Amino acid sequence: MSNVNVTIRMDENLKKQADTLFGELGLNLSTAFNIFVRQAVREQSIPFIIANRQPNAETLAAIEEVQKMKADPSLGKSYTDVSQMMEDLLA
């Protein structure tokens, strides 16, 4: 199997960081890129999740509720005893 040259463009700082990381792993950028491509071909997909992890409406509402409770502790219920808390949760 013959090799071909592939040219990619990337931010200089990103390349330095990648060189450092892959060097610590005993790899160079070319080997790391080949590992990535082989895995992508094997799996027929990008071998990791690419996602825009935005909280859903329920999570955003919960975050807002907690922020309000932190600003005004009288809005929430507090416990000094774990068994009392569990009793309330399971009731």
Counting Cβ atoms within 10 Å, is residue 19 exposed (0-12), middle (13-18) or buried (19+)?
A: middle
Q: Show me where the domains of the chain are located.
A: 1-50, 57-90
> What whole-number distance in Å separates Cα of residue 21 and Cα of residue 31?
12
25-65 pLDDT, tens per residue? 999 999 999 999 999 999 999 999 888 888 999 999 999 99
> What whole-number distance in Å separates Cα of residue 7 and Cα of residue 81?
63
What's the first-to-final CA gap in the chain, in angstroms? 68
Q: What is the DSSP letter of 73?
A: G
Q: Quick check: 10 pLDDT over 90?
A: yes
Determine if the pTM surpasses 0.75: no
